[in-house]
Structure 1
Amino acid sequence: MSYGNNDSYGDQQYRGNYGASGPDFSDLAGHAESHHGSSSSYFNEAANHLQQNHGDYANQDIDEDHAVQSHRKLYGEGNAPANSNELGAGAALEALKKFTGGSGGSGDSSSGGGQNKLIGLAMSEAEKLFDQHGGSSGDKQSAINSAAAMAFKMYSKGQGSGLGGTGGPSGLLGLASKFL
């Protein structure tokens, strides 16, 4: 697994703590479909996108202000998003809220749900938002991809910034409390 320069350190930084094969996103579409209530080719495409780009996303910071503003705009004020990036950030934050039980529900984070459940929930939220708002500027696939990427970054950060996964559900709850 080389990125063109045989630099083993550079290769390792993209793999993060997942080893050579990377995380398994094969059941992402299934998780998204279970939340959405129907299948969508957008979910498979988003899972493929995340599989190909997770190394880049793992090394990116979360723009917390953007996520909170996007969520507030979509869920608090009920306004249409300006672009698919806003929609994805807002959907991922709503998914984190539901996942950790921040919406009054029991949440999924303690049931061994893990990364793919959170990402699947974010993808489902993004599709619902896109459909509700009659299509924002941008396209549905970009919005769902954006939600998947943001949820992956949130989960990674909630797990102790990828350092051996020490965060667990309490790490996600701590992250959620920063946002909500």
Structure 2
Amino acid sequence: MTDRSGVLSYIIEQYYSGDLETAEAVTGYSVKQIEDWCSGQRQPQHITVEYFIHRAFTPEFQSVVEFAEFKPDQPVMAQLKTLFKGHEDRAGIYAFYDSMANLIYIGKATNLVKEAYSAIRRDVDIQFPAGIRKKPEKRYEIVRYISAYDVGSSDWLDYPKHVESLILRISKPVLNKNIGHIEQAFVPPGAD
């Protein structure tokens, strides 16, 4: 067995539980190709091994719901459970929009339902013009649409945090206090 075949065999065993059909579904390579590479009958290319590594370690983002209508006069938790069905306990990103579909809040979650529920029930702590008499007190009073994305998980990186930070830096939603933190890219010495 060659070094690349051994690495590929290790990846299949450790990250796909040795299930070639799962590896086929995730990577798009056929079971026969994977068997040939792992057995050493064929040598996988360097880029093929890197692709398997990438697919094993980088979660695939999935849209759970986009711009789903939220009704402030109906039970909040029941609506969230319906909207996030099948992804309730997953890590993800959720977004709240006002009646004009303007992004007003974005949050990351290790449990979409619990953390979105907590966030939507918080106080609205922004300054409204003095002439507005009936100011909304809770976020659920101004939220009209909700989006949510399952961002998968990784043992090494907090993908929801990085996605949230990027979106916050770009969009600066009015109800978010933090605008996110993105680390500076490393510039090798002398590369100026």
Which one has a bigger Cα radius of gyration? 2
Q: Which has the higher contact order (CA 8 A, sep 6+)?
A: 1
What's the TM-score, normalizing by structure 2? Answer: 0.27
Q: Which has the higher helix share?
A: 1
What's the TM-score, normalizing by structure 1? Answer: 0.29
